[in-house]
Amino acid sequence: MKTKLLPLVSLLMISFFSCKDDDNQGNNHEGCFIEVPCTEPNGLISVAEADVLEEHYKDVFYGLFNEGNMPYNGYDGAVRYIWFDLDEIKKYIVYIEQNAQENGYDNLGLRVYLGAKDQLGQDGEVYPRQTVFFVPTTNPSGGSDVADNLNIVNAKRLNLGGAGIPDSVDQEDGVGAP
């Protein structure tokens, strides 16, 4: 009987001690993981549909920002994208989920706001640049209207992206075949 019990106890001990205790991790989020359903997310669009959206943006807004004289010397025009590191986005999602759990929020989401921040220009002067930042939301009513989502005001926002103006690069340029 002891020989059969020893492997079971050993397995339980290994399982118990190999798991990280996230409560002792502080705010560094080490050992955290995100559990998500293994299905495609809602809202996916094809590369062709994204191309239509990008071209429409360039036709309607991007050209307006870049026409005529810019009010800032050394400002090289409107941005067309903001890039974010995927690992930082994952860490932000963990941060939001932990904040929500601590405060009893559910039905979570992200709102993306447009903003501007000062950045060093090509001529060495500081100029405003377009940016975006993420704000976590909760939907206490569970409604389907976008207005039903409320900003979580006690959670920090995320703005760690990089902007660029690659006029020679469109969103469908890159690696991988469709």
Q: Mean of the per-residue pLDDT values for the chain?
A: 73
Given a cut of 70, whether residue 15 has pLDDT beyond it is no
Identify the CA nearest to 134 among candidates 119, 152, 148: 152
* Matching residue, tokens 């690696």: 175
> Residue 17 has what pLDDT?
35
> Residue 2 has what pLDDT?
45
Contact between 84 and 160 under an 8 Å Cβ cutoff? The reply is yes
- Structure token digits, residue 25: 């991790």
Q: Are strands 126-138 and 108-120 parallel, antiparallel or unpaired?
A: antiparallel
Rounded to a whole number of angstroms, the CA Rg of the chain reads: 23
What is the four-CA torsion angle of 141, 143, 147, 151, rounded to 10 degrees? 50
Identify the CA nearest to 80 among candidates 129, 10, 133: 129
Identify the CA nearest to 139 among candidates 128, 130, 149, 152: 149
Q: Which element (helix H / strand E) includes 91?
A: helix 86-103
What confidence tens digit (pLDDT) does each residue in 66-95 have? 665 555 555 556 777 888 889 999 999 999
Average pLDDT over residues 105-110: 94
